[in-house]
Each structure stands twice: as C-alpha cells, then as structure tokens.
Homo-oligomer: A and B are copies of this chain.
Amino acid sequence: AQENLLLAAAYVSDAQYNRNVPFQTSPQAIRLYCFYNHWTMRVATYIFICVDLSLALFEEPALFPLPFVATALAEVLCLAAFSARLVHFAKVTPQMVFWKDTKNICIMVTIVVTLIDLIIYGSLEAVHIHSIRWTRALRPVFLINFPESRQIRRAFRSIRNTLPDILYVFLLFLFSVLMFSLMALKLFGDRGLKTADGAPYFTNILEIAFELYVLVTTANNPDIMMPAYNVSWWYSLYFITYIIINTYIFMSVFLAVVYNNYRKHLKNEIRKLAYLKRHKMIQAFNILKVKVGTEFVVKEAAWKQLAKVVTPDISSSHLELLLRISDEGQQGYVDKMNFLRLADLLNIQVVTINLRRHPLEAWVPRVYQSSMSLLVQRMVQHRIFVWAYDVIILINAICIALDEKHPFISYAEWLFLALYIIEILLKLYTYEPRAYLGRKQFWNWFDVLIIIAALVATMANAAIQSARKYNSRQILDIVLILRILRLLRVIISIERFRVIVTTLINIGPTMLTFGGLVFVVYYTFAVIGMEMFHGKVQFFDPNFTSPDALVCGNPALKGSAFARDRYCKNNFNDLASSFVVLMELTVVNQWHVLAGGFALVTHQAAKLYFILFHIVVVILIVNIFIAFILEAFFVAY
C-alpha cells in the first residue's frame, strides 16, 4: 500500500510540475525517481552547470586568468557530476526510453567529446603547442538538455519548428537581395563614384551584397545611398524601393511567419500538456481507487495521505480546505472528476485573507484605539496622504535634478529619506503588517526595500566620508541609483500605469526564459568569437593618444570606421567584453562597423560570423520575443 501511495504521489507530482519523464514503477525505481526530483539534486545540477559555463571567465582569453590545470580539473569535476546525474536518470527511466531520447544522447556525446578535447588540448599544451578548445562552444548543451530546462527547450523547439517556413521566405529574400545587388553593380559600378570615406562605391558584387544586407538592418542608411543620390535624385528611388521591399515587407513577413508558428506551437504545447497531466492523474487514480456502490472513488484517508506525500509541508488547514473542495458532498471519499483536479488544486496559491487585528491593538488596545491614534489611521488611509507624498516625490525629483553639491540640497536628501521612512512606519502602524507585506504586495515590498537599501547605502557613504574624508565612488553610485529608483513610486498613484507595469511584471518569468535562450546563443557565439578574434583588437586608455592607441593596437584598422568611432573596447578579449559586443550586434545599429573592423584584422570571411549572428538572434530570437510580448499583451490587456 505504501508503495502504491508513493507511485501515485510520483504521478501527481509530475502532473503538478508538468514533468514528462516516463519512469519505472518498481518500488526501488520510484524512490530513486523521487530522489532524482528532489530540489537538492536539481540545485546541485544547476550549480555544476553554472560552474561549467563560468569556466570561460578563467580560461584563455580570461577575465580572471587561472592555470589550465585548474580549469581542466573543474571541468572534469563538472563532467563527472553530469555523468552521475545521467546515470541516475538511466536507473529511473526504462532503458528503451532512455536510449531513444536525443537529450540523453546529446549529453553523452558532449561529455565524451569534451573529455577527448581536454586530453588532446592538455597533451599539446604539455609540449607547448597551442590548439583550440573548441568543445567549449558546446557547454550550453548541458543547460539545454537536462530535463529541468523545459522552458528553454520549448523556446528552442519553437524556433526549430519555425525554420522550414522561414527558410523559403529567407531564400526569396536572399534572391531579392542578389537581384538588387546585380542591379546596383550595373547601375553604379562603372561610374567611378566614391563613398564619404573615399572608398570605391559599389564595384564588387560580394561587397554590394553585404552592404545591401546591412541596409536591410538599416544600419548603413542613408550613407550607402548618398554617393548615388548626389549624382541624381532618381537613384534614390532604387534605394527607397529596396528598403520598402526588403526592410519593411520582408522583415515584417519574417515576424509574421515566426509569430504564426509561435501561436500554433503554443496552442499545441498547451493542449499536449493538458492531455499528459490528465493522463498522469488518471494513472494515479487507478492505483488508489476503490469501489463504492457503482463508481470508483478514492477514500478520504488515502487522498489525505497522498496529498501529504506530494506536498509534505502542507498545513492542515490548507489540506482541509482542499478536501472540502474535492469532497463537496462530505461523503468521505473523492470521486474521479474531483480527484483529477488535485494537481491543479495543489498549484493554487492560497492567500489567507487577513482579518487579523493589528498586533498593536492586541498589545496596547487602549493606546491604539485612542482618538489620536484613530485620527492618524484615518489620515494615512485618506487620499490626500497619497497626494501629499506624490508632491514630496516631485520636489525630491527636482532636488535631485539640481546640483547636489549645494549643502542645502544634500541636507534635503536626509529630510526626504526621513519623510519616506515616516511614511512606511505610518503605514505599518495603520495596516496589519503581515497583510501590508503579503506575498502579492509587490509595490509595498518595492517601497520598503528601496528605502531600507537607500538608508543603508546613505549611512555607509556618510560613515566612509566622515572617516576617510572622501566619497567612495561605488557606494555613491549605488546611493544615487537608489535615490532615483525611489521616484518610481509615482507609478503606484496612477491606475493605468500600474496596470501596464503589473502586466510587464507578470510576464517577467517567461521573459527570463528568453534570457536563458539568449544566454545560450550568446555563450556559443562568444566562445567562437573569442577563439577567432581575441587579442586582435586592444583597448587603450581613452586619454592615451599614441598612434597605436588610435588604431586599437592593430595597424590593419588604420583609417577604418571601427578605429575612427573609438570602438577599441568592443572586442572579444574576454567573456564579459564579448557579451557586450554581442549585445551591440543584437541592437543592430553600427554592427557593420564592428563586422568591418573584425574583418579587417582577420579576413573578409569573418563577416559571415556576424551575418549568422544577425540571422539567429535578430531574425529568429528577437522576433520570437516580440511575438511573445504581443501574445502576452493580447491576453492581458
């Protein structure tokens, strides 16, 4: 019976968390499976993934250099942990299923390949031959393929499903770009025109195709048009046509195709999840069912035991509440329909509405109920109290905008801080503190945390200042930021603003999925970029104006837009810098300058790296992000 209960609990738990892992039903396997799903094991896996990914910070080209032995040891440790996790999973799941799952194969192959790469690299390093640690680009495979990263995997699936549809549009788009390139070559190639830099204009079909691809991203508009436009107004029509067709229509069609697939895919996923959840709950029901009269039901005792096994820390009042809902007729058993709802019921967060009295009322009832105290309470609850504080925030904003070096304004800061603290204390006095700082009271928490942080930082700053007679720049920066973040409270007072912000906050967790997706792609591109471009571009202090500093330490950049715009710090010399460069490429503007610079210091083919990044991140991922925001807002607004 105990074993049946555990099996049923495993099904219910899987249904509750939308896990879809087929597991063996022997008692031992179930215990292993529960252990596999235990939060400590999952957290440990994530920690090892983090360590593995963060190794890129310490490997050449490193932000914080460590010897190869250290990083190699850490990596082997991580690989061992991943292997253990995988072996654990293999014990839990049926063999057939295990070997058919691409996720597991992916992880195994990556582990083996990484080990081989480590050994080769290490032995070559031992004889002082420098080779490439190319499997570092595969590390995100672990992040994607462990069953815990369902969300990111779903986003990847969404992209993969979009590919066939995108492909034809993309080919047609490329065809259009090539046609226009040919036209540009014929129209402008033999006129001896020069760009603003003095370079020949539109003379090479490959360069034209690249420039026109850049024009699709708008990054070189209108510069690319100017030489032809200077010759005749009519040539602007060529570029306007190009932009309408390729930038506006094709890019919108990409968004349309991605969005369409996203919606279709989302619907299918939701339907499939609902089906699987129901299926698992039916399995759990079939294990525990007993026959009462003509129908199969689950006895109250079994139901309670099950709920307690699934959620060990459930409070008894909560459990009673769930039972009251599931056994409406109070017949001592839960029927099938109500039983199937259990997983969803457990997911509902119960907000205990607080009709409790204020603690002060319990401790000093006479003081708290005095007419003076009641007046204060009514004042705090009054609308004018809110308005008064909005005015204070406005005055505070003006004071911040003015120069704070004036002593009066620097004192005013303390006054404002005091006023905000008084406000919070008054509110805590008026409202029941546990209700005021309840789980869903986002804005109250925001208020309190910002004020406490500002108080701590301001005091720390003052302490340092009086002790060492100077301002710590870091702490001062934090104080400044906190001081300005306080102004965000104005949003609370305007209903429509609150609605928009609440919507944005609600879609926050899913946005984090995109964060994970972007991180995976960034990481892979960063590692490849570091292998290709590290050390080619050097950053010098901006006040340093030696000829070497002006060309970022690479003479190939002489006269280039990259050097002219002082982009030396946009390099692939460590992971952090690489991520910033990739962010700039995502934003798209000036990406052709970056691509051109790195092509100059290596080879023109390096531009392919940047084009591929644009296709993957901007055309696919950013469009899925936009599709996601659109869908989320349609549902919420």
Residues of A within 8 A of B (CB): 168-169, 171-172, 175, 179, 182-183, 185-187, 194, 196, 205, 218-223, 226-227, 229-230, 233, 236, 240, 243, 247-249, 252-253, 255-257, 259-260, 397, 400-401, 404, 477, 480-481, 483-485, 487-488, 490-491, 496-497, 500-501, 504, 539, 541-542, 564-567, 569-570, 576-577, 580, 583-584, 587-590, 622, 625-626, 629-630, 633-634, 637
Is B487 in contact with A179, judged by CB distance below 8 angstroms? yes
Is B590 in contact with A172, judged by CB distance below 8 angstroms? no
Contacts of A260 in B (CB 8 A): 633-634, 637
The answer to whether residues A172 and B233 also contact, given A186-B484, A221-B587, A583-B240 and a CB cut-off of 8 A, is no
> Which listed residue (B226, B257, B504) contacts A249, Cβ 8 A?
B504
Rounded to whole angstroms, the CA-CA distance of A583 and B243 in the bound complex is 10
User: For residue A405, which residue of chain B has the nearest CB?
Assistant: B190
The answer to whether residues A222 and B630 also contact, given A484-B179, A637-B257 and a CB cut-off of 8 A, is no
> Which listed residue (B168, B477, B504) contacts A500, Cβ 8 A?
B168
Is B580 in contact with A626, judged by CB distance below 8 angstroms? no
Contacts of A622 in B (CB 8 A): 248
Is B252 in contact with A400, judged by CB distance below 8 angstroms? no
Contacts of A625 in B (CB 8 A): 248, 252
Contacts of A576 in B (CB 8 A): 233
16 contacts between A and B (CB under 8 A): A172-B500, A182-B487, A185-B401, A186-B400, A218-B588, A222-B570, A222-B589, A226-B566, A226-B570, A252-B630, A253-B504, A253-B629, A256-B629, A257-B633, A257-B637, A260-B633
The answer to whether residues A637 and B233 also contact, given A187-B477, A247-B587, A501-B172 and a CB cut-off of 8 A, is no
Rounded to whole angstroms, the CA-CA distance of A286 and B583 in the bound complex is 67
The answer to whether residues A226 and B500 also contact, given A252-B629, A484-B183 and a CB cut-off of 8 A, is no
The answer to whether residues A590 and B223 also contact, given A252-B629, A401-B205, A491-B175 and a CB cut-off of 8 A, is yes
Rounded to whole angstroms, the CA-CA distance of A487 and B180 in the bound complex is 11
Rounded to whole angstroms, the CA-CA distance of A243 and B564 in the bound complex is 24
Contacts of A626 in B (CB 8 A): 252, 255
Rounded to whole angstroms, the CA-CA distance of A194 and B378 in the bound complex is 54
Is A633 in contact with B175, judged by CB distance below 8 angstroms? no
Specify how many copies of this chain sit in the oligomer.
2
Is B256 in contact with A630, judged by CB distance below 8 angstroms? yes
Contacts of A570 in B (CB 8 A): 222, 226
Min distance, Cβ A452 to any Cβ of chain B, angstroms = 20
Is B580 in contact with A233, judged by CB distance below 8 angstroms? yes
Contacts of A171 in B (CB 8 A): 497
Is B587 in contact with A500, judged by CB distance below 8 angstroms? no
Pick the most buried of A236, A257, A577, A584: most chain B CB atoms within 10 A of its CB.
A584
Known: A183-B481, A221-B584. 18 other contacts (CB 8 A): A169-B500, A172-B500, A172-B501, A179-B484, A179-B485, A179-B488, A182-B397, A187-B480, A187-B481, A221-B589, A222-B590, A226-B565, A226-B566, A229-B569, A236-B580, A240-B580, A256-B629, A260-B637
Is A168 in contact with B565, judged by CB distance below 8 angstroms? no
Pick the most buried of A171, A218, A220: most chain B CB atoms within 10 A of its CB.
A218
Rounded to whole angstroms, the CA-CA distance of A610 and B434 in the bound complex is 51
Contacts of A186 in B (CB 8 A): 400, 404, 480, 483-484
User: For residue A501, which residue of chain B has the nearest CB?
Assistant: B172
Is B223 in contact with A565, judged by CB distance below 8 angstroms? yes
User: For residue A236, which residue of chain B has the nearest CB?
Assistant: B580
User: For residue A543, which residue of chain B has the nearest CB?
Assistant: B194
Contacts of A255 in B (CB 8 A): 626, 629-630
User: For residue A539, which residue of chain B has the nearest CB?
Assistant: B230
The answer to whether residues A168 and B233 also contact, given A223-B565, A629-B256 and a CB cut-off of 8 A, is no
Contacts of A259 in B (CB 8 A): 630, 634
Min distance, Cβ A291 to any Cβ of chain B, angstroms = 51
> Which listed residue (B172, B182, B481) contacts A491, Cβ 8 A?
B172
The answer to whether residues A497 and B634 also contact, given A183-B484, A221-B587, A222-B567 and a CB cut-off of 8 A, is no
User: For residue A169, which residue of chain B has the nearest CB?
Assistant: B500
Contacts of A249 in B (CB 8 A): 504, 629
Contacts of A236 in B (CB 8 A): 580, 583
User: For residue A585, which residue of chain B has the nearest CB?
Assistant: B222
